[in-house]
Chains A and B, each alone.
Chain A
Amino acid sequence: MALRTLITRKTLGLGLQSEARNLGFGFRHARELQTFSLPDLPYDYSALEPVISGEIMQLHHQKHHQAYITNYNKALEQLEEAMAKGDSSTVVKLQSAIKFNGGGHINHSVFWKNLSPIHEGGGEPPKGSLGWAIDTNFGSLEALVKNINTEGAALQGSGWVWLGLDKEMKKLVVETTANQDPLVTKGANLVPLLGIDVWEHAYYLQYKNVRPDYLKNIWKVLNWKYASEVYEKECP
């Protein structure tokens, strides 16, 4: 299962790169359009209970994330057609759908890796260089948690709250993004270490309108191991 996730991640990377290349050309060579597919979760749907219910995990993964992927693929197909025809107004018109659905795919792909069952280390505080970086940037882990929870609760509408790494400045930041905007829309050098989905679909069935409770509890299943890996890769 882990292998499949890896391949999908590479595919995602490739897809994004080739898209960037294509947009620079006025015409393009015949090429097979990359389609994206739903990555498997590294754990069962019920593995994060009682913090996040199995029902939410299943809907979130099989319906919401899948819908973003389906619509992302559709938008990319339409983009390819429009580019081939030189139809600039359609190309530009599709950008919001690509940003929304592509962003949704990116964000949720990170999110599944940000979560981990308690018995697999979910919730265990970060050690090593990320732990020190948190203390340096925020004073303590508690302060960081409080900061993120405050930002997440105050976010109006739908969006995400992130712990990000500015890889240029080697600084940790807390940021929020609206709707499905990926963290990189807040800064080209920002790399997501942890993201928390605060769209209502992420918690409503269980926590109803009490988003602060969801935020308080989700730390029990946050995967600091993954965050540390990403951090250490960018800041060796």
Chain B
Amino acid sequence: MRVSRHCKLLPCCEETKDFTQDSIIGITQGEDICLWVCFVLDLKSAKEAIKEGCMLESVGFLAGDALCLALLAQEMLVLVQDALEPYMSQRTLEIHWGKHHRGYLEGLNKQLENNNSLYGYTMDELVKVTYNNGNPLPEFNNAAQVWNHDFFWESMQPGGGKIPGHGVLLQIEKDFGSFTNFREKFIEAALTLFGSGWIWLALKTKEKRLAVIKTSNGVTPIVWGDIPIISLDMWEHAYYLDYKNDKVKYVNMFLNNLVSWNAATARMARAEAFVNLGEPKIPVA
């Protein structure tokens, strides 16, 4: 693969110039990623990659005819902003990601420039530290909203919706009785949230079970040590251009067509490394 002249390479990844698509995905699943790695793929292969669920692990911006893929730990560029049409319009993504999310990121960077005590944290740690046990520091709103939007874009995929994969489905049925009941609870939470906020399906670490959680403004369940699996942005800017005040339609569209159960599966798998969800079934010899 060529490296387009429009792309940047960090010195630390000079040795990794020869990537395949598999290795892109491999790298993004690591933990402390702060690399910019650029590739050129033609637009067609990039779109194919998105359809296979790679969208949210890779980011990109158009550089002429070639598509330059850049991987960022902290910022998600939606690769092709019409990918979620007609359920979430390109217009919405342009503004939601391009203005709101970017605004939080730029605001956070500016605040961090002036505050050395927050140097060196990962995003997760930054969110928890600035939450300050419920008495949030001024950086919290920006940090949390950057985190939340990253998580949100990754909670969706083109061709999403339908029902979760086997493992997640079993856990949902265990903790909610049925998938239908989970759906109802999720929708009810979305419709009864007062003001701006987020709806989560999260694994509660103490109770060792899944639950639907509502949070206000920028709060995220990680501040309480819980593990989010899926999120839905219920700030009005997330749906107003596409659905105006029709929250019912928005939430249903999300659950039916956008939610990425693939992402949920990956997150559950990771969560199980931290939370013991039960005894393994060891077959009797």
Chain A partners chain B: yes
* Chain A contact residues, CB within 8 Å of chain B: 59, 63-64, 67, 96, 100, 156-159, 178-180, 199-201, 204-205, 208-209
Please name the 9 residue pairs, one residue from A and one from B, whose CB atoms are nearest each other, closest first.
A200-B236, A179-B195, A157-B217, A157-B196, A158-B195, A209-B99, A63-B245, A100-B194, A204-B240
Which A residues lie within 8 Å of B194 (CB)? 96, 100, 179-180
Distance between Cα atoms of A179 and B194 in the complex (Å): 7
- Give the residue name and chain of the B residue nearest to A204 (CB): B240
Contact with A along B186-206 (1 / 0, CB 8 A): 000000001111000000000
B8: interface (CB < 8 Å): no
Minimum CB distance partner of B196 in chain A: A157
Task: Please give the distance in Å from B57's CB to the nearest CB on chain A.
Answer: 27
Interface centre among B100, B194, B216, B236 (most CB of A within 10 A): B194
Proximity string of chain B (216-238) to chain A, C-beta cutoff 8 Å, 1 when within and 0 when not:
11100000000000000001110
Which chain B positions have C-beta within 8 A of A59? 244-245
Could you name 28 residue pairs across A and B whose Cβ atoms are closer than 8 Å?
A: A59-B244, A59-B245, A64-B245, A100-B194, A156-B141, A156-B218, A157-B197, A157-B217, A157-B218, A159-B195, A178-B195, A179-B194, A179-B195, A180-B194, A180-B195, A199-B236, A200-B196, A200-B235, A200-B237, A200-B240, A201-B240, A204-B241, A205-B241, A208-B95, A208-B241, A209-B99, A209-B100, A209-B103
Minimum distance in angstroms from B92 CB to a CB of chain A:
10
Residue pair A157, B245 in contact (C-beta under 8 Å): no
Instruction: Across the interface, name the chain B residue whose C-beta is closest to A71.
Output: B192
- A204-B240, A205-B244 are known; give 18 further A-B pairs, CB within 8 A: A59-B244, A59-B245, A63-B245, A96-B194, A100-B194, A156-B218, A157-B218, A158-B196, A178-B195, A200-B196, A200-B240, A201-B240, A204-B236, A204-B237, A205-B240, A209-B99, A209-B100, A209-B103
Residues of B within 8 Å of A204, CB to CB, are 236-237, 240-241
Q: Is the CB of A201 within 8 A of B235?
A: no
- Point out which of A100, A156, A179 has the most chain B C-beta atoms below 10 A from its C-beta: A156
Inside 8 A of A199's CB, which chain B residues have their CB?
236
Q: Which residues of A contact B217 (CB under 8 A)?
A: 156-157
Q: What residue of chain B has the Cβ atom nearest to residue A209's Cβ? A: B99
Docked pose: A156 CA to B103 CA in angstroms? 13
Q: Nearest chain B CB to A146's CB is how many angstroms away?
A: 21
Residues of A within 8 A of B235 (CB): 157, 200
Report Cα–Cα, A157/B235, bound state, in Å: 8
**8 Å CB contact of B216 from A63, A157, A180, A209:** A157
When chains A and B are docked, how far (Å) is the Cα of A159 from the Cα of B194? Answer: 11
Query: What chain B residues lie within 8 Å of A201 (beta carbons)?
Result: 236, 240, 245
Complex Cα spacing A159 to B216, Å: 12
Residues of B within 8 A of A179 (CB): 194-195
Q: What residue of chain B has the Cβ atom nearest to residue A200's Cβ? A: B236
Q: Within the assembled complex, what's the spacing in Å between the Cα atoms of A179 and B244?
A: 18
Which residues of B are found within 8 Å of A209, using beta-carbon distances?
95, 99-100, 103, 237
Is there contact, CB below 8 Å, between B141 and A63?
no
Which residues of the partner chain A approach B236 to less than 8 Å between Cβ atoms?
A: 158, 199-201, 204
Please name all residues of chain A whose beta carbon is closer than 8 Å to the beta carbon of B244 when the two chains form the complex. 59, 63, 205
B222 CB to nearest A CB, Å: 19
Nearest to B244 among chain A residues (CB) is A59
Question: Cβ of B216: which chain A residues have Cβ within 8 Å of it?
Answer: 157
CA distance A16 to B145 in the complex (A): 38
Q: Would you give the shortest CB distance from A205 to chain B, in whole angstroms?
A: 7
**Cβ–Cβ < 8 Å partners of A96 in chain B:** 194
Complex CA distance for A59 and B99, rounded to whole angstroms: 24
- Find chain B residues with CB under 8 A from A100 CB: 194-195
Closest Cβ–Cβ distance, residue B236 to chain A (whole Å) = 4
In the assembled complex, the CB of A50 is this many whole angstroms from the nearest CB of chain B, namely: 19
Give A208 to B99 CA distance when docked, in angstroms: 9
CB distance from A115 to the nearest CB of B (A): 19
- Can you list, as one digit per residue, whether each of B8-26 has a CB less than 8 Å from chain A (1) or not (0)? 0000000000000000000
- Measured CB to CB, the nearest residue on chain B to A101 is B194
Q: How far is the CB of A152 from chain B (nearest CB, A)?
A: 15
**Binary interface encoding of chain B residues 85-100 relative to chain A, with 1 for a CB under 8 A from any of its CBs, else 0:** 0000000000100011
* Nearest chain B CB to A71 CB, angstrom units: 10
Complex: A180 Cα to B195 Cα, angstroms = 8
Q: Which residues of A contact B240 (CB under 8 A)?
A: 200-201, 204-205
- Assembled-state Cα–Cα distance A157/B195 (Å): 7
Nearest CB in chain A: distance from B174 CB, A: 28
With the chains together, A159 CA to B103 CA distance in Å? Answer: 20
Closest to B195 in A: A179
